[in-house]
Amino acid sequence: MVKKITDVDPKIQKILQAYPVRNPVAWHKERGVAVIIFKKNLTRFEQSLQRRIGGPMSIRRTLDEKGTIIWELCDGRHRIKDICDVMDEKYQEDIEPVFEYVHKVLLMLLERGLIHLEPTMPEKGVKVRKQRVLKKAVKR
């Protein structure tokens, strides 16, 4: 991993400074890996088909060990650069280039609406409200 943030492209510098934050979805750990449970994003046609045919309304996504570490670090307190540094220190050459690996995982989480990016560290009060929403979602 590039140790000095000034050594990379200015566009990437801005990305590395962002704070990924988990959205309020239900998740837990099973056998050391994160299992995320989130509602399917169905079109109207798919919803009507689902009502007729049946099936689960939620998706259960199991992350691998590396994805779990990234998921847990998406807490609003770690910048993307910090996550890259942690992954580089832990896995070294196993996931070279680190930024591309972390970017791929974060992009997957973003596309599924499981995380969002903040330009600055979120306030602690915002995080507490999101945790309450998460507890309500789990109870349903």
- Phi, psi torsion values for 116, nearest 5 degrees: -140, 165
Lookup: tokens for 27: 């998740």
| pLDDT tens digits along 18-31 | 999 999 999 999 99
Beta carbons within 8 Å of 30's beta carbon, 6+ residues apart: 62
Asked whether the predicted pLDDT for residue 66 surpasses 60, the reply is yes
pTM: predicted TM-score of the whole model, two decimal places: 0.76
Q: Which of 102, 96, 93 is nearest to 71 (CA)?
A: 102
> What does the mean pLDDT of the chain come to?
83
Going from N- to C-terminal start, the domains of the chain cover: 5-139
Q: Which of 27, 107, 38, 31 is nearest to 72 (CA)?
A: 27
Lookup: tokens for 46: 């798919």
